[in-house]
Amino acid sequence: MQEKGADLSPKGAADDSVAAGKDVHASAPGVAAPESQRAHLDRRLMHGIAWSGGVKYLTQFLSWASALIVARLLTPSDYGLVAMATVYLGFVTLVSEFGVGAAVVTLRDLTEEQLEQLNSFSLLLGLASFAVSLVAAYPLAWFFRAPLLPPVVMTMSVAFILTAFKAVPGSILERDLRFKEVSVIDGARAIVLAVSTVGFALAGFRYWTLVLGGILSSLVSLFLILRLCRKGFRFPRYASLRNALTFSRHILGSRLSWYIYSNSDFAVAGRMLGAVPLGNYTMAWTLANIPLQSVSNLISSVTPGFFSAVQKDRAELRRYLLNLTEGLSLVTFPLTTGLALVAHDFVLAILGTKWLPIVPPLQLLAIYASVRAITPLLSPILNVTGEARFNMRSGIVSAILFPIAFLIGSRWGTVGIAAAWMVAHPIPILFVYRRTFQKLDLTVGEYCNSLRAAFTGIVTMSAVVLSMKAVLSSYSLPPAAALALQVAVGGLAYVGSIFLLHRSRFQALYNRIKSTRSTA
């Protein structure tokens, strides 16, 4: 179950302008931060990305390897059963957290007393969510027609309590830009998850492999966070927390809406198509999102603190958005597009013939993953510029639109559900882009220019890989060999086109990194 400062005066008092989503923090658009402050923040950003990236990439190979091993040992029905539980439990997880973490990171002048009250509030919500899930387990089994589901739901619900204990301490680490410690914790959690799931799968635990591995890794994460940062408990008082809870309510509304529309495809697949198609769709979704998890999650784990630190400076927010968007597109676009191009050989070589039904939905989901790789930067920017309520309203629209699209798409099976993403998602995201551009005084041309290099690269790469596939069709190569050739040729074509046509961008990026290091 998986997904931030502001000046409030007086402390702990209600601020109606913030509650209304008004922009009370911004300085005049275009006013630049002092050069020394900019260099300091850039250095912290680079160090944060370096630590987060270093740890993530050290553990990414282990995570991928374990996922593929487990996929060979388990069946689609095992994944489908756990996916049914996750659809519900992930939703309740967001309620139990109530946006408390986002409030701690964004509202930087919360007092120690208020933090302790939020810590107690988080724990109460976690316990309540655990109790509700125990009651809901059997109705969920009836809804999904899955008699094995109740014990899975009950066991996975323990995560609510674990999450409640670490919500405030973990967010304090993020707010204070302690990315070295946060990265180590994330790395330890990933290693425990990978090793334990492989062990449980080899021992024949079937679907319990996915359940117990998640619980064990969450326990390790909680232990390490509390070793670094602990907060006491104090009875929560609404008068003291009114401002934080108003902000949290908007964040919660956005996250609940996001969860509804981003997981309604799993719910529709489980209800309308059954456990095996749901398992196939879940695997296709997981593979399509691997490039995003390895890159976008790295950026999203670092940027909220930095957006918070420069929330009064629109010029700096604009600069960060354009630079990060360009960086994300250069890395993720070739990964997602490349996966779509080689999906058939990839599945045959890595997963085996039993997973061939995932190829068509995987191709569609991988193509659209390019869009979803860059859009997560928009929401945190709107949050720190006083637009949390707009994010919430946009999410509500999506929560209504997407389930309808997935329900219609289910008439064509998992392919139809995957295609529904490409039809429904652009509608609300265009309004989010429009509001973001307004808040930052950013033009469409400036934003598209940040994507130009990556787009040129993937067009060239696609042409080369498709030509290679046509040539290879005349030969009877093993899937692994065909996959290796396509990956090698496609990668060279992408890097070559970027280097030849956009060398100045690489030089500018190198100069920025060099300048950042020279100020250290």
Instruction: Please check whether residue 382 lies inside any domain of the structure.
Output: yes
User: How far apart, in whole angstroms, are the C-alpha atoms of residue 339 and residue 355?
Assistant: 15
Question: What secondary structure does DSSP assign to 386-413, as a single string?
Answer: T-HHHHHHHHHHHHHHHHHHHHHHGGGH
Phi, psi of 482 (to 5 degrees): -60, -40
Instruction: Please check whether residue 194 lies inside any domain of the structure.
Output: yes
Nearest to 300 by CA among 102, 93, 517: 102
- pLDDT per position as a tens digit, 469-482: 888 888 888 888 99
- Give me the mean pLDDT over the 266-292 stretch: 86
Q: Is the pLDDT of residue 181 over 70?
A: yes
Instruction: Please check whether residue 7 lies inside any domain of the structure.
Output: no
User: How far apart, in whole angstroms, are the C-alpha atoms of residue 173 and residue 203?
Assistant: 37
Residue 295 amino acid letter? V
- pLDDT per position as a tens digit, 22-49: 333 334 434 445 555 555 555 555 555 5
Instruction: Please check whether residue 239 lies inside any domain of the structure.
Output: yes
Alpha-helical runs (H) found in 74-207:
76-97, 100-106, 112-144, 149-156, 158-175, 179-202
Instruction: Please check whether residue 21 lies inside any domain of the structure.
Output: no
- Is the entire prediction scored with pTM above 0.75? no
Instruction: Give Cβ neighbours of residue 180 (< 8 Å, ≥ 6 apart).
Output: 51
Nearest to 304 by CA among 428, 410, 388: 388
- pLDDT per position as a tens digit, 335-374: 999 999 999 999 998 888 888 999 999 999 999 888 888 8
User: How far apart, in whole angstroms, are the C-alpha atoms of residue 324 and residue 338?
Assistant: 21
Q: 462 is in which domain, residue-wise? A: 28-518
User: How far apart, in whole angstroms, are the C-alpha atoms of residue 49 and residue 328?
Assistant: 12
Instruction: Please check whether residue 18 lies inside any domain of the structure.
Output: no
Bond from prior residue into 10 cis (ω within 30 degrees of 0):
yes
pLDDT at 8: 24
Residue given tokens 């995957």 in the structure block: 418
Tokens of 138: 């059997």
Instruction: Please check whether residue 2 lies inside any domain of the structure.
Output: no
Instruction: Please check whether residue 396 lies inside any domain of the structure.
Output: yes
Structural domain count of the chain: 1
- pLDDT per position as a tens digit, 193-221: 889 999 999 998 988 998 898 899 889 98
Instruction: Give Cβ neighbours of residue 151 (< 8 Å, ≥ 6 apart).
Output: 137
Does residue 498 contact residue 465 with C-beta atoms inside 8 Å?
Answer: no
Q: What is the DSSP letter of 350?
A: I
